[in-house]
Amino acid sequence: MAARLRGDKKFLGHDIVKGQSYLVTGGGSGIGEATAEQLVALGARVTICGRRAEKINAVAARLGDRCLAVTADVTHVKDRADVFRQAMAHGGGLNGLVNNAGNMYRAPIADFNQDRLLDIFNQNVISGMMLSQLAVPALAARQGAIIFLGSIHTRRAFPGAAPYAATKAALQTLTQVMAAELGDQNIRVNCVIPGAVKTEINERAGLGSTEDSATRMTALAPLHALGRIGQPMEVAEAIVFLLQSKWTTGALLDVDGGLGLGLTPL
Amino acid sequence: MTLRAIVTGGGQGIGAEIVRGLVSAGYWVGILDRNTAAAESLATELGSSEVLPVDVSDHLAVASAIESFGELDLLVNNAGIVRFGPLLDQSADDIASVIGVNLIGTINCAQSAAQLMAAQNGGVIINMSSVNAVHPAPNVGIYAATKAAITSLTQLQALEWGPLGIRVNAVAPGFIDAGMSAPIFLDDKVRAKRSGGVPLKRLGTAEDVVQAVLFLASNAASYIHGHELVVDGGVIQSVLAHLPRS
Ligand SMILES: NC(=O)c1ccc[n+]([C@@H]2O[C@H](COP(=O)([O-])OP(=O)(O)OC[C@H]3O[C@@H](n4cnc5c(N)ncnc54)[C@H](O)[C@@H]3O)[C@@H](O)[C@H]2O)c1
């Protein structure tokens, strides 16, 4: 029998996103780019930001007028204020903040470097905390949502990746406390936990060439219960679901093809 | 091509709303319920559905009903019961009944469905868990333990059936103002107290659960596998959640 279609791509919530306004940090590549693309395709207005102007400008050019690119480094106070102001102007308010910008810092314990540790916590955790603080009043006015990006590194231990894993665990806990704290302002706070998804983050971390990083990712495929690594758009779809789902808050949504289950192929 | 689903316990409560959601999303739905009258009247109202008059705890009856349903894209393992009361007061019958429906029933339906799906290149299974699986509340009897077992079962099914093309996840609803817990919320005091303990300051609706089910059933969730999606207004994140029912 021919393979059957397993469910239409459209689910109820897709309609809700239309006409709304979202800010996606780190929208120049990977999961952030896919999220911006999906939100724009569903009729939303999206502001993306990133450090590399040519990257984010190219994404905005591809996605059209509903996508605005702002060159900004979210670790800088002034840049955060600027990107938030522009997102409010571009979308006429704010329905959702996707704290997607993040970087990888791997180091075995013997090589921990204090400046680099402070820097990775600043990039991955503190920037999102402070941007959320800026956005809360605007989000409260729209019953809006905040999304954080956790990681499979909190479900499985990868030796040598402690710095990155610790930042992601911080975000997951932050999600739960912020959800409890912001509930009475009707702001939902959720987190997606992606499995192995091929994006630039691994290449930027200096894990070797594009091919090296692709080989490493492919080697992870058999550890997923679904037998394959994921696509950025599959994570983006989960983010879109959490942005519009009216009664899900404080959730840590694994989007990992079953990698977190800990499958060991025999 | 019309997608085909079976919803267990689809005759009333949250299950009936799931049936409604699937029918309006274009599915043909098998309403599997031991409450035949409720299932029949829903099927008559909605069309695009048929009744499978079966008790989920009956292994043989389930196997033959699901097999004769034929092509199957989606199973929503929703049938469940609860016997409220202190654990000390649970009778042998309470314990056996709740385990029989919630745990054995879930296994029965999933096994039969997975056999069909494996032969047809895959499908989606969604098991109905509960926030009680994550943090049990007092006076739910053996219910919480059966729901925790469903969490574990979901993970095992994902591991073993993922390679067969079957995507398996669970939904864990919180305080829902429908179905088995609707009677609890008829008391205004309990209602105010319990909704006040939810960070989003309201009880959930069956529709909130339906939305999560439709998402997990759709291709938008194509990489979500072995997960338990909590739909609870944040209640398990809040220490205020552990409030008595009365
Ligand atoms: N209502 C809530 O607040 C809540 C919260 C968390 C989880 N849940 C879960 O959601 C699911 C649906 O619950 P509900 O609130 O809609 O309950 P409900 O009692 O309104 O509906 C349950 C349905 O299952 C059917 N059923 C029961 N035993 C059966 C059996 N042995 N064989 C076939 N059908 C059977 C019943 O006839 C009924 O139609 C359950 O699994 C429940 O544990 C509900």
Q: Which residues of chain B are within 8 Å of residue A240 when distances are taken between CB atoms? A: 220
The residues facing A147 across adjacent strands are A98, A190
pLDDT digits (tens, 9 = 90+) for A92-119: 999 999 999 999 999 999 999 999 999 9
- Ligand 1 mutation pick, B81, B101, B103, B177, max ligand atoms within 8 A of CB: B81
What pLDDT is attached to residue B236? 86
Domain ranges of chain B: 4-242
Give B210 or A215, the one with higher predicted confidence.
B210
Separation CA A224–CA A69 (nearest Å) = 35
Cβ pairs A/B, distance under 8 A: 183
- Phi, psi at A245, each rounded to 5°: -70, 120
How far is it, in rounded angstroms, from Cα A172 to Cα A166?
10
The domain defined by B4-242 folds into Rossmann fold (3.40.50)
Token output for B201? 């300051």
Which of B39, B58, B62, B59 lies closest to B50 in space, CA to CA? B39
- For residue B203, the CA-to-ligand 1 centroid distance in Å is 17
- Domains in chain A with CATH codes: 21-261 (3.40.50.720)
On whether any CB of chain A is under 8 Å from the CB of B246, the answer is no
Are the C-beta atoms of A163 and A117 separated by less than 8 Å?
yes
Question: Which pLDDT tens digit goes with each residue over A130-156?
Answer: 999 999 999 999 999 999 999 999 999
pLDDT top residue among A11 and B85: B85
Residue among B124, B208, B236 minimizing CB distance to A7: B124
Does the active-site annotation cover A164?
yes
Q: Does B120 touch chain A (CB under 8 A)?
A: yes
- From the CA of B79, how far away is ligand 1's center (Å)? 5
State the 10-residue block means of pLDDT for chain B, 246 residues long: 95 98 96 98 98 98 97 97 95 98 98 97 96 90 97 97 97 96 93 90 96 95 96 83 54
Task: With CA atoms as reference, report the closest residue to A174 among A185, A190, A161.
Answer: A190
* Cross-chain CB nearest to B120 (options A4, A10, A14): A4
Least confident piece of the model among A12-26, A177-191, A206-220, B26-40: A206-220
- Is the pLDDT reported for residue A209 higher than 60? yes
The pLDDT score that the predictor gives to residue A1 is 29
* Sheet strand arrangement including B74-77: B49-52, B28-32, B4-8, B74-77, B123-128, B166-173, B228-231
Residues in chain A: 266
What tokens appear for A146 in the block?
């905040």
Contact A250 B162 (CB under 8 A): no
pLDDT at position A262: 82
Contact A251 B163 (CB under 8 A): no
Atom nearest to B173 CA in ligand 1: 6
Cα A164–Cα A168–Cα A170 angle in degrees, nearest 5 = 120
> What number does the ligand 1 atom closest to the CA of B100 have?
31
Predicted local distance difference test score (pLDDT) of residue A8:
54
Q: For residue A174, what pLDDT is reported?
A: 97
Backbone angles phi, psi at A22, to 5 degrees: -135, 150
pLDDT of amino acid B238: 77
Q: What per-residue confidence (pLDDT) applies to A5? A: 40
The vertex-A194 CA angle with B126 and A220, nearest 5°, equals 100
Say what the pLDDT of residue B197 is.
87
Of A230, A249, A254, the CB nearest to B200: A249
User: What per-residue confidence (pLDDT) applies to A198?
Assistant: 83
pTM, 2 dp: 0.89
Q: How confident is the model at residue A210 (pLDDT cuts 50, 70, 90)?
A: confident
Closest chain A residue by Cα to residue B120: A1
Instruction: List C-alpha distances in Å: B158 to A58, A113, B125, B168.
Output: 39, 40, 9, 5
Using most ligand atoms within 8 A of CB, pick from B180, B184, B195, B236 the residue to mutate for ligand 1.
B180
Q: What is the pLDDT of residues A241-265, one digit of tens each?
A: 999 999 999 999 999 999 999 877 6
Distance from C-alpha of B156 to C-alpha of B204, rounded to nearest angstrom: 29
Q: Residues of A with CB below 8 A from B73's CB?
A: 4-7
Beta carbons of A34 and A236 less than 8 angstroms apart? yes
Q: What is the structure's pLDDT at A44?
A: 97
- Residue A164 confidence (pLDDT): 96
